[in-house]
């Protein structure tokens, strides 16, 4: 049985250029999860209070997706293109319990 896991990436300062360069690979992996019906939500945290932060960029990302185990979620997170591109300073993977909407 699969469970939900939250993957929280915290960007390094000034990550916007690295983020934009690695974005196609990052998005293609998320698209696979979506196509498999395993993606609840995914998106970045704007660095300022704006949906289009422009040059301020982003401070990190949140992904909530289904995996068979915490180890599987961690393994998936560890291979994200944002890690190899140096976008993320750190990544936390935690079990997530979806309550609402039911």
Residue 30 lies in a domain: yes
Residue 69 lies in a domain: yes
Residue 101 lies in a domain: no
CATH of the domain at 65: 3.30.70.1060
Helix runs in 1-102, H state only: 16-35, 70-78, 81-84
Using a cut of 0.75, tell me whether the model's pTM lies above it. yes
**Tally of structural domains, the chain:** 1
Residue 10 lies in a domain: yes
Per-block mean pLDDT, blocks of 10 residues, the chain (102 long): 93 96 98 98 97 95 98 98 97 96 84
Residue 35 lies in a domain: yes
In this predicted structure, what is the pLDDT of residue 1?
67
Let me know how long the chain is: 102
Residue 18 lies in a domain: yes
Distance separating the N- and C-terminal Cα atoms of the chain: 18
- List the structure tokens of 46: 């704007």
């Amino acid at each position: 049985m699969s469970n939900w896991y939250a993957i929280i990436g915290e960007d390094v300062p000034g990550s916007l250029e690295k983020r934009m360069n690695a974005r196609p690979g990052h998005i293609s992996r998320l698209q696979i999860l979506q196509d498999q019906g395993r993606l609840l939500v995914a998106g970045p945290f704007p660095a300022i209070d704006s949906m289009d932060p422009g040059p301020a960029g982003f401070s990190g990302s949140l992904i909530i997706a289904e995996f068979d185990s915490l180890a599987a979620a961690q393994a998936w997170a560890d291979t994200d293109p944002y890690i190899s591109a140096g976008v993320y300073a750190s990544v936390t993977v935690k079990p997530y319990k979806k309550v609402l909407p039911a």
